[in-house]
Amino acid sequence: MTVWVQGCSLACAGCFNPETHAGEAAGSWRDVEELLAIADAGQERIEGVTLTGGEPLQQAAAVAAFGAGLRRRTGLGLIVLTGFSRAEIERDPARLRAVADADLVVAGRYQRRAHLGGGLRGSSNKAYWWRTGRYRHVDLEGVPELEVLVGADGTLTITGMAAPDIG
């Protein structure tokens, strides 16, 4: 399960998901309890939750509440993708609380000149911060660079770190 948060002021040049930078997206709001209920109901079909965005740690209190609730209510894993570096997280008590229940944090600003687009890292400078033993490098090898979703109404949603060539 992936939770895409809205809002990011980091403005990394070349970000693959700039539509998540505005603070709100009409019709997409979910509160922490609703997200926890969705994760709880999906436990038999999913292995874990990935928080991405936007910038999850700019909503540190909600992310901390979600992580704590997920850990308390489910056996699901938690991965947080953030533009903040590990040092920036460790210096800020609110950000540190936000990743307290994460199994893995992928940390650091996206850098276009170091584009990688694999294993959950958009650029090679982004660092894995293994917080538990739940995940290993081998678990990330099969993560696709690009995902294309076709909605029931025919809407096409393209996400990922590779530039799609569907022309």
Inside any domain, residue 7: yes
Query: What are the Cα distances from residue 54, in Å, to 23, 74, 79?
Result: 9, 25, 15
Question: How many separate domains does the chain show?
Answer: 1
Looking at residue 148, what is its pLDDT?
67
Q: Write down the pLDDT at residue 161.
A: 56
Residues of the chain with pLDDT under 50: 26, 164, 166-167
pLDDT in the model for residue 164: 47
* Tokens matching residue 86: 């590990």
- Assess if residue 166 is contained within a domain: no
84 located within any domain:
yes
Q: Let me know: does 85 contact 105? Beta carbons within 8 Å.
A: no
Question: CA-based Rg of the chain, rounded to a whole angstrom?
Answer: 15
Please give the residue range of the domain that contains residue 151: 2-160
